[in-house]
Amino acid sequence: MTQTALPGLVTPPKLPQGTLRIVPLGGLGEIGRNMAVFEINGKLLVVDCGVLFPEETQPGVDLILPDFSYIEDRLDDVVAIVLTHGHEDHIGAVPYLLRLRADLPLVGSQLTLALVEAKLQEHRIKPYTLTVAEGQVEQFGPFECEFVAVNHSIPDALAVFIRTAGGNVLHTGDFKMDQLPLDGRITDLRHFARLGEEGVDLFMADSTNADVPGFTTAEKEIGPTLDRLFGQAKKRIIVASFSSHVHRVQQVLDAAAKHGRNVAFVGRSMVRNMAIAAKLGYLDVPPGILVDIKNIDNLPDHRVVLMSTGSQGEPMAALSRMANGDHRVVVGQGDTVILASSLIPGNENAVYRIINGLLKLGADVVHKGNAKVHVSGHAAAGELLYCYNILKPLNAMPVHGETRHLIANGNLAEDSGVPSDRVILSDNGTVIDVRDHKANVVGQVEVGFVYVDGSSVGEITDADLKDRRILGDEGFISVITVINRTTGKIVSGPEIHARGVAEDDSVFDEIIPKINAALEDAVLHHADHTNHQLQQVVRRVIGTWVNRKLRRRPMIIPLVLEA
């Protein structure tokens, strides 16, 4: 029987010497916040430290971080943070962890560390880094890490093979098996095979496309589609993609050069990341093709390509602002907008709003649903089966995906011969111990959401978000009343103000006498009532009336003052 997360909070036992413990702090049951903590003999190794982007049910939230509380008081025991690649869902939370201890060693490939260092510079943190490459082996305390080349939608991605006294773990990070990648760097299955011969006690594999049959399409197959669209377009072309998708940007640059167009990068992260990629040689920029966004108005429309952020409907990203008419780039009739990305679960409504907004402005919108303008960066079921068959892992623990993805990956592990009782389907906070070639679920630690809202980190709670949703969905009512405690009479009010509840405050005229009567009765018969208790009387009276009369459940703020 497949091992699953334990129900409720089950305190894990003390970790014995020589046993490897793994605690995922994010990335399970969600697309984002990827972070896993490995522990043996009193030392900790962290693999990835990413962010999750908020959904519509989390208004005002900018980012969601992993919950660091599990390791917060043990940061001196952390020997390294290994970063598998440079996507935000794997590196975006690094600045927030380094705020707690700035000298935590960061380990990753050249491009990954360059992207992290640029991010940390904005936070005024100068990190200690170690650049590694495929085939390299490094010792971090009791952890020996060997790095393996894997192919993904960003260059320089690495899997990490972790050797410990408790067992060997292969963590893929995000990967696929594109056999004809633009940079010629394939997932090194020969290296995987050698590790399989040595012995993989636990295989932690990317699950994002585990429920997709077959094999992921090669990135180069997008090229002909872009070539056709660029050839057909009569006016400006706007391409939206992830700001770190170097291969996609490369194909846009190549298509633009072929069709005599100039390219401007739009969006701060796009400008920053592509400058880094070009400087390090990961992006081949044709001479004279790039122009500054400030100069595009000096070019005819048929010579312009804008490479933009905002493919996921992020409200403050460039494409969203263009769709809302709130950007210096004005989208007009006949412009072509290409959404060269997939939809991250939870972002669908935001993306469709942008598509509708752009169509209203007269643009032709091309997306994954009507043209081959995106291929995934994650291994599909066929590729995962290849890995299981090559590695022959003794235990499997799917990572990086929603529940449906994790279950599909677990089924693939069983199909390939991993015994069902050695397939672990865990949640964030599940504690897994590896010893004597066996992985077991031994407990569950509390792992919550840490919200970033402007400059505040971790101060926003789920209760605050509930209040925000109520304000957005149901509106707000304030009731101010001044009462004479001695006489029990209302001196002033109730003064009712509402926002988002009714068209006119006069609708509340009929409830005012009921509020007066309830307050006077409370003072008369319960002289010891505190102001808070009197406010609750007001809340109950007006809340019941609004619910019955207006069919609403607004936020109600009563204020009772004494004369």
Residues within the annotated binding site for substrate?
A: 243-245, 374-378
Q: Are residues 287 and 390 in the same domain?
A: no
Q: What are the angstrom distances between the C-alpha of 126 and each of 49, 51, 117, 278?
A: 17, 20, 8, 22
Q: Are residues 331 and 294 in the same domain?
A: yes
Residue 153's CB is within 10 A of a number of other CB atoms, namely 27
Q: Are residues 210 and 227 in the same domain?
A: no
Q: What are the angstrom distances between the C-alpha of 115 and each of 160, 268, 271, 322?
A: 19, 13, 12, 26
Residues within the annotated binding site for Zn(2+)?
A: 85, 87, 89-90, 152, 174, 400
Q: Residue 297: pLDDT band by 50, 70, 90 thresholds?
A: confident
Q: Are residues 202 and 336 in the same domain?
A: no
How far is it, in rounded angstroms, from Cα 283 to Cα 495?
Answer: 64
Q: Are residues 232 and 297 in the same domain?
A: yes
- Pick from 313, 339, 366: which residue ends a domain? 366
**Residue 6 forms part of a structural domain:** no
Which residue among 259, 378, 405, 433 is the active-site one?
Answer: 378
- Pick from 366, 390, 421: which residue ends a domain? 366
**Residue 12 forms part of a structural domain:** no
Residues within the annotated binding site for Ca(2+)?
A: 60, 62, 453
Exposed e or buried b per residue across 222-243, where buried means at least 16 C-beta atoms within 10 angstroms of its C-beta: bbebbeebbeebebbbbbbbbb
Q: Are residues 414 and 277 in the same domain?
A: no
* Six token digits for residue 435: 């010893």
The pLDDT of residue 53: 77
Find the radius of gyration of the CA atoms of the chain: 28
Q: What are the angstrom distances between the C-alpha of 11 and each of 46, 75, 444, 491?
A: 21, 21, 6, 57
The pLDDT of residue 486: 67
Half-sphere exposure of 139 (CA within 13 A, CB side): 3
**Residue 439 forms part of a structural domain:** yes
Beta strand segments in 85-198, E: 105-108, 128-131, 137-140, 143-149, 158-163, 168-171
For residue 337, the enclosing domain spans: 219-366
**Residue 285 forms part of a structural domain:** yes
Give percent of the chain above pLDDT 90.
Answer: 50
Q: Are residues 124 and 58 in the same domain?
A: yes
411 exposed, middle or buried (CB, 10 Å; 0-12, 13-18, 19+)?
middle
HEC string for 240-262: ECCCCCHHHHHHHHHHHHHCCCE
CATH code of the domain containing 113: 3.60.15.10
Q: What is the mean pLDDT of residues 369-388?
A: 88
Q: Are residues 73 and 200 in the same domain?
A: yes
Residue range 171-224, pLDDT digits in tens? 999 999 999 898 899 999 999 999 999 999 999 999 999 999 999 988 888 889
How far is it, in rounded angstroms, from Cα 208 to Cα 316?
Answer: 26
Q: Are residues 246 and 143 in the same domain?
A: no
The pLDDT of residue 476: 73
Q: Check pLDDT > 70 for residue 371.
A: yes
Residue 307's CB is within 10 A of a number of other CB atoms, namely 28
pTM, full prediction: 0.83
Of 346 and 262, the one with more pLDDT: 262
CATH code of the domain containing 296: 3.40.50.10710
Q: What are the angstrom distances between the C-alpha of 342 and each of 75, 237, 241, 359?
A: 36, 19, 9, 19
**Residue 472 forms part of a structural domain:** yes
Pairing of strands 237-240, 438-444: unpaired
The pLDDT of residue 21: 97
Pairing of strands 158-163, 168-171: antiparallel
List helix spans (H) across 392-485.
Answer: 403-415, 462-474
Judge whether 406 and 413 are in contact, CB under 8 Å: no
CA angle 312–314–319, rounded 5-degree value: 80
What one-character DSSP code corresponds to residue 373? -
**Residue 65 forms part of a structural domain:** yes
- Pick from 329, 344, 366: which residue ends a domain? 366
Active site residue 206: yes
* Six token digits for residue 522: 């409370």
* Six token digits for residue 56: 């519509």
To the nearest 10°, report the CA torsion of 100, 103, 107, 108: 70
Residue range 318-357, pLDDT digits in tens? 777 887 777 788 888 888 888 887 766 666 677 778 888 8
Q: Are residues 35 and 147 in the same domain?
A: yes
**Residue 299 forms part of a structural domain:** yes
How far is it, in rounded angstroms, from Cα 357 to Cα 373?
Answer: 20
3-class DSSP assignment, residue 200: coil
Pairing of strands 128-131, 105-108: parallel
In one-letter notation, the amino acid at residue 430 is T
Q: Are residues 280 and 387 in the same domain?
A: no
Q: Check pLDDT > 60 for residue 1.
A: no
How far is it, in rounded angstroms, from Cα 264 to Cα 254?
Answer: 14
The pLDDT of residue 75: 96
The pLDDT of residue 519: 73
**Helix (H) and strand (E) counts for the chain?**
14, 26
Judge whether 438 and 422 are in contact, CB under 8 Å: yes
How far is it, in rounded angstroms, from Cα 191 to Cα 193?
Answer: 5
**Residue 1 forms part of a structural domain:** no
State which H helix or E strand residue 271 sits in: helix 268-279
Active site residue 191: no
The pLDDT of residue 487: 66
Residues within the annotated binding site?
A: 60, 62, 85, 87, 89-90, 152, 174, 243-245, 374-378, 400, 453
CATH code of the domain containing 530: 3.10.20.580
Residue 526's CB is within 10 A of a number of other CB atoms, namely 12
Q: What is the mean pLDDT of residues 510-535?
A: 72
How far is it, in rounded angstroms, from Cα 190 to Cα 289?
Answer: 39
The pLDDT of residue 560: 74
What one-character DSSP code corresponds to residue 137? E
Which residue among 67, 156, 206, 364 is the active-site one?
Answer: 206
Q: Structural domain tally of the chain? A: 3
Place of tokens 């529940």: 403
Beta strand segments in 205-318, E: 237-240, 262-266, 304-308
Residue range 138-154, pLDDT digits in tens? 999 999 999 999 999 89
Q: Are residues 485 and 549 in the same domain?
A: yes
